Amino acid sequence: MTRSVWWRRFFVRGVFWRQGLRFAVLNVPPWTEPIVMAFWSTFFLVWGPGRRGVMRNLKVIKPGSLAIANLFRCYRVFWNYAWTIADNVRFKELRTIPDWEFTGREYFEDMQTRQGAILLTAHMGSYDLGAHLFSETSTRRIVMVRAPEADPQTREFEEHHGVDSLRIEFNTRATELALDLLETIREGGIVAIQGDRVTGSISSLPATLFGKPTTVPAGPFALALAARVPIYPVFVVRLGRRRYRLMTSRPIEITRSRNRDDDFARAVEQWMAELERVVQECWFQWFTFEPYWPEPAR
Amino acid sequence: MMLNVVIDRPDARRLPSRHRFAVARLIGYILLGRARSAVERPEHLILSIDRDQTAVEMHLTAFWAFATTACYIAASLPFALPLSIVLSVPLAAAAIHLPIVLGGSILRAFIGDGNHIKIVSVITMALLLIASSYVATTRSWARFVAWLFFAILLLNSVAAVILWLLRGSVQSAEERCVR
C-alpha cells in the first residue's frame, strides 16, 4: 500500500469515517448518543470546505443573514446530517426503524399503484433510509440511482454493507443505465433519483433556484418523457430523534409537444418550485456541502 | 422483513414499550390513553416499537450523564472553578467516549464484530456508579451531584417496582392501544 493510499482513508470522504460510524452504531448506548452526536458535529465543523460550502449556500437561502448566524446554522446542518447517516446505518445493521409520518399520502399511494414511476428526491434528510425502507415494505421493485462514492475503499465498504433488497445503480454509465431504467419502469418498477445537483459529467438542464441560475440532472426528465410516466417529488425530512416525515408532492407530468426544450423547462420549473419550498422550510437538512451556485466571476 | 410497528395510532407514542428506563415507562403508562384528542394526527403514521425510541427520555438521560461527568471532572481539576467548568465540558465529552471506544474495541477483539450496545451501556453506567460512589464520600461540592445521581437511581428503582406490580394493567393498556 502506498503512502497516499494509506492517508486517503482519513480524508473526509474516506473509509475510516464510515467504519467509525458503523462501530458507533454497534457500540454507543442510546442514552449517550446525543453527547456523541454533539461532539462529532462540532469536530466536523473543522472541515473547512464543507463548512464554507454550507455557509455559502445558506447565504443564498437566507439572504442578508450574518456569517456568525450561518455558522450556528451550519452546525445544525452537521448535527442533522450526523443523526440521519447514523439512522441509516442503524437500519442496515440492526434493522431499527424510526417513526414515520406521511404527508401527501394520496400521491404516494398513487405512485405505488401505477405501472412504473419516477421518484425524484434531493440530498435531504435520510433519502437512503427512505429508499431502503420503501424497498423492503413495497411490493414494487425500486431502483435507486446515485453518484458513486469518490473514494474506492469507501465505495467497496458501502457495497459490502448495503441492503440486499435495494438495487443501487451509479450514474456513471449513462447510456446503458438509461436503457436499464427504462426497462425497470416498463416492468412496473420505481426509479428513485436525486435531482437537486449535477455531479460529474452527467447531462444537465438549466434551472433557477432561489432566483439564481443553476443546473439539474436531465436524466429523470428524459426518462419520464421516454417512459411516459409522471415524476413524483418525494422528500424525507428528519423531524427529530428517530422521527421522519415522508413528503410526497403533486406529480410532475411531462407532456409531449413539438418543442422538447419547452417540455423539459416546464417540468424543471415545477420541480424547482417544489425543491425551493422544501429547502426554504428545511434548510437545516439540505446536505449540500459544496457551494451549490457557482461564484460569480469578478 | 418483520417490522415491530404500530400504524395510525398517534397515542401509541406513549407506549411504555417505547421507553428504556423505568421512570419513563411509568410516565408513559400514566399518560397513555389520556388527552387523546390533543395528540397530533398526521395523515398516516408508522410508530416503531423500540425501547430506545423516545427523544425526550434519551436527551434528558444524556444531559444528566454528561452534566454529572462534567461536574466530577471540574471538581477534580486543580484550577479555579470557572476555568475548571469550562475545561470540564470537552473533557467530559472525551471521557464519555472512553468506555465506548475501549470497551467496544476489546469486545470486538474477544467476542467478534456485532452489536455490543448492551454491554457497553452496562460498562458506562457501572463506571458512572463507581465514580459517583467515590465522589459522594468526598468533601467536594460535587458530592451533591453524586447524591443526586443516587437519588435518580433510587427513583428509577422505585418506578421499576411499581411497574412490576402493575405489569398486568400495563400490558392490557398497551394491547388496548395497539388493537
Determine whether the interchain pair A31/B58 forms a contact, defined as Cβ–Cβ distance below 8 Å: yes
Determine whether the interchain pair B104/A27 forms a contact, defined as Cβ–Cβ distance below 8 Å: yes
- pLDDT over 70 (residue B35): no
Determine whether the interchain pair A34/B63 forms a contact, defined as Cβ–Cβ distance below 8 Å: yes
Determine whether the interchain pair B96/A32 forms a contact, defined as Cβ–Cβ distance below 8 Å: yes
- pLDDT over 70 (residue B39): no
Centroid of chain to Cα B169:
24
Contact status, residue B9 vs residue B178, Cβ threshold 8 Å: yes
Touching check for B117 and chain A: CB below 8 Å? yes
Instruction: Give the separation between CA A201 and CA A59, rounded to whole angstroms.
Output: 27
Determine whether the interchain pair A33/B58 forms a contact, defined as Cβ–Cβ distance below 8 Å: yes
With 0-12 CB in 10 A as exposed, 13-18 as middle and 19+ as buried, what is A210? middle
Touching check for B8 and chain A: CB below 8 Å? no
Chain length of chain A: 298
Q: Which residue has the cell 456513471?
A: A172
Both ends of chain A: CA-CA distance in Å? 43
Nearest CA in chain B to A242: B53
pLDDT in tens, B74-85: 999 999 999 999
ipTM of the shown complex? 0.90
Q: Which of A63-67, A72-76, A201-205, A211-215 has the lowest mean pLDDT?
A: A201-205
Touching check for B46 and chain A: CB below 8 Å? yes
Question: Per-residue DSSP letters for B90-116?
Answer: HHHHHHHHHIIIIIHHHHHHHT-SS--
Q: How far is B61 from chain A (nearest CA, A)?
A: 6
pLDDT in tens, A259-277: 888 999 999 999 999 999 9
Q: Specify the pairing of strand A204-209 against strand A243-248.
A: unpaired
Residues 95-114 in A contacting B (C-alpha not used; CB under 8 Å): 95-105
